Amino acid sequence: MTSSKHTAVRVGVEASKLLRERRGMGRYVRNVLLQMPRLRPEIRFTLFVRRDRDIVPLGRQLALLSGELAERTTIATVSALPTADLDVVWYPWNWLTTRTERAARVVTVLDLAPMLQLDHRWWKVFKRAINRRRYLDTVRGADMMIAISEFTKRELQRLLPVDASKVRVTLLAADDLTPVAGGASPALDRLGVTGPFFLTVGAQEARKNLPVLYRAMELLHARGERVPLVQCGPSSRAQPRPWLHAAGYVSDAELSVLYHRATALVFPSFYEGFGLPALEAMAAGGRVVCANASSLPEVVGDAALLFDASDADALAAQLTRVLHDASLRDRMTHDGAAQAARFRWSTTARQTLAVFDEAMGRRALRGG
């Protein structure tokens, strides 16, 4: 079943996280869904949520996103998924969960962090064991798998018994986050930040490598550099420091302003399936200093300053460079915008549709 036949493709989406995942992978799923009807007008969706009370709020969210998408979409609870009349079901959150035997199954693998020993707290051992079983079940049960970077594809092949012929890479994008040259920032006003500042964005996870960033900031301040670090995301567990300003969660519009106004986004993570904040920052007209690790070089290309993820001195040196070299900042802004322009949600959606087609073809050959 291909797009050239213009047949109505019925796509199910395991959307149990979509209502609450406002950023990150929620942004990925929403943008792909938004683009697909423009590429294939005959497509129809059924989104499966966990509870009845999620149906109406998700419907409102879709209507605000796109009336065209909302008109093509039915929302049901996940209990209806196994027997739903569909051609393909997309599981975009790492694992094959509630199964269908009637439709082709496509799983997006974001990263393999949940099964790796990246966090050494004792209770994580049990979660890792459970998650490894989930990945193994996914590898066995998926008709096709999507990796969101070449790095994630290599990790799949390195760590799991995956058939490489059923893995495809579809990179993410950030062309929905537009540059804001002179926007106001209530967060900066609230924090009293008026001059140059560094920005970091993300969850408080071990793999995000924030201790190395904090050590680099301590080095800067010991040398007399009084530049603050603004941290967006969940409340920090770090000890209070005079240079650390926790902004908490901010809206997409304000995040775009922060990306644009920051001296640089600092992204020290040593394990990322893609690293969307780095791409978002460049798309918003900002600059990026990031670890030379996992998928990040693949995303930023030559547009960012890189450092060894374990080396706080190297990070401090790169921060000092971008802080004091105006010509370097100008070049990074220009190169970052050009790099971000290479990634488009329309491309992600088109490639995802091609994977759906492959999965349906595989299922048809097996007589399923």
Three state DSSP letters for the chain: CCHHHCCCCEEEEECCCCCCCCCCHHHHHHHHHHHHHHHCCCCEEEEEECCHHHHHHHHHHHHHHCHHHHHCEEEEEHHHHHHCCCCEEEECCCCCCCCCCCCEEEEEECCCHHHCCCCCCCCHHHHHHHHHHHHHHHHHHCCEEEECCHHHHHHHHHHCCCCHHHEEECCCCCCCCCCCCCCCCHHHHHHCCCCCCEEEECCCCHHHCHHHHHHHHHHHHHCCCCCCEEEECCCCCCCCCCCEEEEECCCHHHHHHHHHHCCEEEECCCCCCCCHHHHHHHHCCCCEEEECCCCHHHHHCCCCEEECCCCHHHHHHHHHHHHHCHHHHHHHHHHHHHHHCCCCHHHHHHHHHHHHHHHHHHHHHCCC
Angle in degrees, 0-180, between the axes of helices 345-365 and 25-39, rounded to the nearest 10: 80
Phi-psi category of 94—alpha, beta or left, where left has phi over 0 and alpha has psi -120 to 50?
left
Read off the pLDDT of residues 116-136 as tens digits, 9 standing for 90 and up. 987 777 667 888 989 999 999
Closest CA to 284 of 252, 316, 324: 252
Give residue 203's pLDDT.
83
Amino acid, res. 37: P
Give residue 201's pLDDT.
95
Closest CA to 246 of 257, 255, 237: 237
Q: Look at residue 4 and tell me whether its pLDDT is greater than 50.
A: no
- Phi and psi torsions of 205, nearest 5°: -115, 150
- Complete domains list, the chain, with CATH: 3-173+344-365 (3.40.50.2000), 186-340 (3.40.50.2000)
* Partners of residue 108 on adjacent β-strands: 146
Mean pLDDT, residues 255-260: 94
Read off the pLDDT of residues 169-190 as tens digits, 9 standing for 90 and up. 999 999 988 767 667 889 999 9
Asked which of 176-185, 284-293, 313-322, 354-363 is least confident by mean pLDDT, the reply is 176-185
Q: What is the C-alpha to C-alpha distance for residues 57 and 60, in angstroms, rounded to an integer?
A: 5
More confident position, 240 or 113: 113
To the nearest whole number, what is the mean pLDDT of the chain? Answer: 93
Q: What is the C-alpha to C-alpha distance for residues 102 and 123, in angstroms, rounded to an integer?
A: 37
Q: Look at residue 2 and tell me whether its pLDDT is greater than 70.
A: no
- Residue 341's pLDDT band, with cuts at 50, 70 and 90, is very high
CB-CB contact of 64 with 21 (8 Å): no
| Confidence (pTM) | 0.93
Give residue 21's pLDDT.
85
Contacts 24+ apart (CB under 8 A), 334-338: 335/301, 335/302, 335/303, 336/281, 336/282, 336/285, 336/286, 336/287, 336/288, 336/300, 336/303, 336/304, 337/179, 337/282, 337/283, 337/285, 338/303
